Amino acid sequence: MTRTPPPRPTAEQLAAAQDTTIPDVAAPGLRVLFCGINPGLWSGATGRHFARPGNRFWPALHRSGFTPRQLGPEEQDELLALGLGITNVVGRTTAKAAELSAEEYRAGGQALVERVLRLRPRALAVLGIGAYRAAFGRPGAAVGRQPESIGDTEVWLLPNPSGLNAHYTLDGIAAEFRALREHLEDDGASAAQ
C-alpha cells in the first residue's frame, strides 16, 4: 500500500514555524529514545519529527530493522508501540542547526539528561556528532556506543539523518542504526539466559 504524503507546508507556514517547539514522542521505559538536534522549519510547520522530504530518519529506521515497514512522519505516534520515541537536544525550531548557540546546546544537554533520567529508556541515540559534542562537552566523541551512560541508559551517538549530511549515505546511516538494534537484541538475549 502506497502512502500519500501530507501536503507541503506553505512559505507562510514555514516562516511562522521559526522558534516554535513540537511535542516529543516519548513514554517511560522505551527501548530507544532517538534524539535529533532540533526541529527544522518543516517539522515545526507540521508538528512532526524528521518531516522534511529527503530526511533519511524514517527509511534508515526501517532498513535497520527497527520498524516492520517504512513509516512516515505522520505516523510518528506508532513508534511508541514499538518501544521507540523521539526527542531533540534543543526544542527550538530553526531553518538550520547552525542558528543554535553553544549555550542552547549545553542547556539542551542538561534538559536531555533530566528527561532520560525521568523516562529511563534502555538506550538514548543522539543523531548528530556535532550536537552531541557541543551538548555534552565531549569534543572527541565518535559514532557508536559511548563510554558514559545516563543512569541505567546506554548512550549511543549515531549519524545525523538529514539530507544535508554528506558524510553518510542512507545505507551507512541504516548500518549504524542496525548496530544499535542488534546490540540491544544481543544484550536482551544474554540477560534472559
Task: Write the pLDDT tens digit of every residue in 60-81.
Answer: 999 999 999 999 999 999 999 9
133, 105 in Cβ contact below 8 A? no
For residue 88, the domain's CATH number is: 3.40.470.10
The SS3 call for residue 10 is coil
The answer to whether residue 60 sits within a structural domain is: yes
* Confidence (pLDDT) at 166: 76
DSSP state of 126: E
CA distance 47 to 39: 9
What parts of the chain have a pLDDT lower than 70? 1-3, 188-193
* Confidence (pLDDT) at 165: 79
Q: Which of 133, 30, 165 is closest to 85 using CA atoms?
A: 30
The answer to whether residue 8 sits within a structural domain is: no
* Confidence (pLDDT) at 182: 97
Judged on CB neighbours under 10 Å (0-12, 13-18, 19+), 22 is: buried
pTM of the model: 0.94
* Confidence (pLDDT) at 47: 96
* Confidence (pLDDT) at 162: 86
Name the domain count of the chain.
1
Residue that the C-alpha cell 553518510 belongs to: 168
The answer to whether residue 9 sits within a structural domain is: no
The answer to whether residue 4 sits within a structural domain is: no
DSSP state of 182: H
Judged on CB neighbours under 10 Å (0-12, 13-18, 19+), 43 is: buried
The answer to whether residue 5 sits within a structural domain is: no
Half-sphere exposure of 52 (CA within 13 A, CB side): 17
The answer to whether residue 3 sits within a structural domain is: no
Q: Residue 26: left if φ>0, alpha if ψ -120 to 50, beta else—which one?
A: beta
The answer to whether residue 108 sits within a structural domain is: yes
* Confidence (pLDDT) at 188: 67
User: 180: domain range?
Assistant: 14-192
With a CB cutoff of 8 Å and minimum separation 6, the contacts of 3 are 72
Reported residue count of the chain is 193
Dihedral sign computed on CA atoms, order 82, 69, 72, 3? negative
Q: Which of 160, 182, 183, 164 is closest to 172 using CA atoms?
A: 160
* Confidence (pLDDT) at 189: 65
The answer to whether residue 2 sits within a structural domain is: no
